[in-house]
Structure 1
Amino acid sequence: MKTGFAKATDGAQIAYQVDGNGPPLLLLSGQANNHHWWDGVRDDFAHVRTTITLDYRGTGDSDKPDAPYSIEIFARDALAVLDELGIESADVYGTSMGGRTAQVVAGRYPNRVRKLILGCTSPGGKHAIERGDAVRRSLAQVDREAARQALAELMYTPAWLADHPGPYQTMGDPDMPDYARRHHLRASGGHDAWDLLPAISSQTLVLHGTDDVFNPAANAPLLAERIPDARLHMIERARHAYFEEFRDVAGPLVLDFLD
């Protein structure tokens, strides 16, 4: 795997990782996670695609400035990585907060995105369907282990958890500073792409698990209806980490769409 750093517009160093061969595919991970989010499925794409990941600012090997972050900033950081690699246009696959970032990249910089996949994500703002109070309470428990278990059950089905004791790469960067976690949370919460979505001209596939309550599944048809000619596929029984637990379904769907 090739690794390196790109300089963001504000001078921050953004770590990136490149693996595989073929047309470029930019993979954008979820909130408060680094590139390891994709470890479980990266090989599904790397045999036919040059996969590109990055560590968001505040995570992994990237700089961790203690200053406000935003989805717009994350989008510019992603473009800085593509610029560093000399890539004018790439397919973009974003999941969760990565899907929010991908919406901004595709809407603001349409010439940089060939095809777009939005997974388990939301348009944000007043039009989005927010997670319920019970979900919020489960994640806010004082008992950190209980909160972590609640997060795991939002990501994966009980059957999958029973067969896969972990560690799980989608549960957050364990070395991330607390202040950076807060900046990520505010960035994701401040996202509102509703007015931007109709400007997306890339062919778009929207994926979501039917049983996702962490980012409610009702957000998927909102995106698909708002983005011109977008396709929608709901993966039965899947929760938030559909791309990993249901990789045998999601991976082929993505590759078929890209091809």
Structure 2
Amino acid sequence: MSTIQQPAAAVTARQTRQIMKGFAAQLSGRGERGADRKVRRGSYDVDDRRARISRPIGDGTTAGALGWIDCLLKVVSEWDDAERRKGGARPLGLHGMRVLEALLGRRGGVGIDFRTGCIEPALDTIAKAADVSRTTVVRALNTLKRIKVLDWVRRTQRTGKDGLFGPQREQVSNSYAFTPEAFPARLLRRFRDLLARKRLARQNTLSGAPPVPAEPSCPEMRAALARMEATIAFRSEGQNASTPCGQYHRSGVEG
């Protein structure tokens, strides 16, 4: 008789402890996690205002957003090249740039709302769009966060399951937001200069005026551009040389 009662008593005691822990967690404000052990700490419910970090891409228009994306990719690519020239490895490299392009909607498979900036793909979705492994995606995201290109927030949603001991919440995809305003000063100046040139080119196109290149605000950059222009002019004398120009195949905006 006692051998049957002892397991039952142990189960009852364990349930009592779980109930007491649940009540204590709710009273202390930690009730959201409860028994959901697989929910990562620091996560917010999808309806929590702290989980809403989206912001418009550029000015929110299609043309403005595509130009903004071109400028961001160019700045990050230049930074990646510069870090390699210092004697080290590329922090992002080819695969890391693919992850960034995927998040910006450049490789298909990841939806991006220019007006709201809503970007909420799962890690596996990003990996498939960028044609890289999930581990590579995680590594690239951490690097992009470190250099202030983007930030994200972990999110959860309620399962709708009843019962105290059942999982009440489950992890869902992160919400991402680009944060170039937090760039190091030199990268931020470069980004703003590129944006100014894009805006001026758009205005000239709309008005029918011939394109006028914008003057970079950085003195070192002005000097470098002047040297480049002089070199191009010298090499093109007596030759049918032309300066190559890049173009993003999806946006149609010259980079």
TM-score category of the 2 structures, normalised to the smaller one: under 0.3
Which has more helix, going by share of residues?
2
Q: Which has the higher contact order (CA 8 A, sep 6+)?
A: 1
Give me the TM-score of the superposition, normalised by structure 1: 0.22
Which has more strand, going by share of residues?
1
